[in-house]
Structure 1
C-alpha cells in the first residue's frame, strides 16, 4: 500500500500538529486528491467551541480540516493553564470524525525541528502524543513525520516506499 492510498481511504481528514510544523505540502497534496480544505479561525466560538466543526462534519462529501479543537486541548493548558475545550467535547469530536469515515493526521517532527524552541517543542510534542493516544481509542490516527512528507512529494499515483504498521486504530507511517 502506498501513502496516498493509506490516507485517502478516509473521506474526512483532520490535520493536527505542533505550531511551526509545515503542513502546506500535505494540504496541497490533499487538495490535489479532491479534498476541499477548511481553515477555521484561530478563535473558538465563545459559547460552544465545537459548533463550527459539527457544522462542517454534517456537510456531505470529502473534507480536510487544517487544525481543530485538539489544538486548543493541547495548547490551552500550556499557555493559559486550562483548555476551553473539555475532554468530553474532544472525544465527541473524535467520534464524529470516525462516524464520517475519517481520521486524524498527527504531524510530528524531531526535537531539533527549525522554528521551535527545543524545550517548548518537547512539551508540546508530549502533550500531542498523550492526546492522540487517548483519541486513537475513538478515531483512527495517522502519524506522519513532517520530514517524510518532503521526499518524495505526496502526489497522486506516486508510490511512497514507507513502512505502514497498525496498532489498534493508530496507523504509523515510517520510512
Structure 2
C-alpha cells in the first residue's frame, strides 16, 4: 500500500490517502488514515471519489459559513451526542425524528465517525470513536463491551483548522478532483 496524497491539517495531524495500486480513476479504492504524531488509525475506506467529494463539500461549506453547529451541539461533543442518539434509537425511527448530525457527517468506519463544522467563526474536524455494535452484530469471539463502558472511555479528537489551512486543503482537493475527473 502506498500513499497517494497527504492532507496536512495542522503541524501534527494529517489525513493520508492510501491505495493498494496506483490510482487511475475516480472509482479506485482508497483508505483514509488519520495520523497524529505517532498514532494512526483508518477512518474511512471507499472510492477516492467518495472520500474527496464528501470532505471537499464539508470544508467548502465552512468557507461559506454553512456548517455552523446548531444551538444544541458543542465543539468536541458532536460524536458523543451522535453515539447517545444512535444508541437510544428504537428499531423504528419516528417519522418526525430529525437526524441533526447528518449535515456535519463526512466519513465513517466501524470504529470512527468524522465530522466537519464551525462555531464562533472557526472551522473544526472532529474524529469521534463510534460504538462498534450500534448496527453490527459482534464478530465471532469478539469481546463486546456495554455502551456505558464505551462511553466511560470515550475521547474524541478535535482539530481547529485555520482559514489559511482550509484554503490550502481545498486547493489540494480541487487538484485531486481535476486529476481524476471527479465532478
Asked if these proteins are the same fold (TM beyond 0.5), I'd say: no
Higher relative contact order (CA 8 A, sep 6+): 1
Give the structure with the larger strand fraction. 2
- State the TM-score, normalized to the length of structure 1: 0.24
